Structure 1
């Protein structure tokens, strides 16, 4: 089998090999240069608005400290002036107090300016953060919408209805199986007329059980015999003409 020589392909491979060689050489040179002279300083990120607010607030607090120190000095001068009489010494002390008061006013103006700057930056930072939150909310809503669409593609109302029908059929079949398993075997048939007659008989027995008149009649009869048992077959009470037997019970009339 003869191999056909292709100059164009060989030329491409040569160019690729030379490019890789140059890149490797440049990489080695870069490593050596970094080793000799060190790497350049990385670019610092631009200051954030939050960092700027913190710096301004720190400057304002530092100025507040200076104002407090000037207030203490003014109070000291005021007390000294109250104890001094009018004269050159009091006038000189007054000039010092005015100088301190002038410095205090300058510091107060600087503090107010810094406070306003901090407030403006906080408002801007709040607006930026609100926009970021809104953007994140919109992105989350878009992502949620995509997920809902993707999930709904897998759900069809026809398949859900078929599933409900199959479940209903399964429940019906299960009930039929339970009924079939609950059937009794070899039970004799019972006549409804016989059951009704037995029920009526039970009602009569309940009525007789509730009727206690025969007990009251027996209690009204004398229970103490006049003579000893066995002396006579039949006697009568001294207080009643009802015949009793040897046990003192009312004797039933002969039929």
Structure 2
């Protein structure tokens, strides 16, 4: 049977986008090499046309240059077509990568959603409210305990009244000392000493010492300039 119908050959796997893009890029590179070679030949023919006089020889060179130019135009068209195919493949590859990224994102979101739902099942709002109420009750009990522990022992009830009386007396004493716009009592004008009652002798008025003229200079008996009377009277 195998000899009659033969064996079915396995199909080659389809090329991926990257493989197809690489293959087209290689073809484009080979076409570019051919175009460069034709450019070199055209440059030679241009030099020959410049050096050749008009006539049959120049026409022959022009015909060869025209043939080379037609080949160059054909290869340039193929190159442009290959570039367009490469661009299309790149666009498809980019779209494919974006879809793969979206799939991975969706998968991650689904996993996170499942985990959140599982965790939310263990957390109940009513339990949180009850826990907060319990904490408030405990804080109130703790405050009551602190107040009980901070209570004073053996303190008479009228001690506050005695302390307030002493505080008022202290404030009254301080007020007497600071009368007269903040000036202490011992510095106020009413307490200044009466110098007349002290019976102190008055300051001497002094008397002038006779002066004499020596060598055109006025001097007293001690050889010093005379003191003005105003300074002696004070």
TM-score past 0.5 threshold: yes
Root-mean-square deviation over aligned CA pairs: 3.4
**Pair 1:238-2:211 in alignment:** no
Q: What residue is the counterpart of 2:58 in the other structure?
A: 90
Distance 2:175 2:13 in 1: 103
Q: How far off its partner does 1:157 sit? A: 0.6
Distance 2:104 2:201 in 1: 115
Provide, for residues 17-58 of structure 1, a one-character-per-residue CA deviation record: whole Å limited to 9, x for no partner: xxxxxxxxxxxxxxxxxxxxxxxxxx9754211221122123
Q: What residue is the counterpart of 2:126 in the other structure?
A: 158
* TM-score, scaled relative to structure 2: 0.64
**Pair 1:203-2:175 in alignment:** yes
**Pair 1:65-2:43 in alignment:** no
Distance 1:55 1:207 in 2: 110
Change (3 A) 1:171 1:99: farther
Q: How far off its partner does 1:132 sit? A: 2.4
Q: How far off its partner does 1:114 sit? A: 1.0
| 2:137 maps to which of 169, 182, 185 | 169
Distance 1:45 1:173 in 2: 79
Change (3 A) 1:79 1:206: farther
* TM-score, scaled relative to structure 1: 0.59
Distance 1:136 1:164 in 2: 41
Provide the secondary structure at the position in 1 that maps to 2:53: coil
Q: How far off its partner does 1:111 sit? A: 0.9
Q: How far off its partner does 1:126 sit? A: 2.6
Q: What residue is the counterpart of 1:213 in the other structure?
A: 188
Q: What residue is the counterpart of 1:250 in the other structure?
A: none
Change (3 A) 1:158 1:79: same
Change (3 A) 1:215 1:110: farther
| 1:103 maps to which of 71, 76, 81 | 71
Q: How far off its partner does 1:179 sit? A: 4.3
Change (3 A) 1:195 1:67: same
Change (3 A) 1:170 1:107: farther
Q: What residue is the counterpart of 1:7 in the other structure?
A: none
Q: What residue is the counterpart of 2:90 in the other structure?
A: 122
Change (3 A) 1:202 1:187: farther
Provide, for residues 67-98 of structure 1, a one-character-per-residue CA deviation record: whole Å limited to 9, x for no partner: 23322332333233233322333223222222
Q: Higher relative contact order by CA 8 Å / sep ≥ 6: 1 or 2?
A: 2
Change (3 A) 1:49 1:237: same
How many matched pairs? 187
Distance 2:149 2:64 in 1: 113
Q: How far off its partner does 1:183 sit? A: 4.8
Q: Which moved more, 1:54-63 or 1:199-208?
A: 199-208
Provide the secondary structure at the position in 1 that maps to 2:160: coil
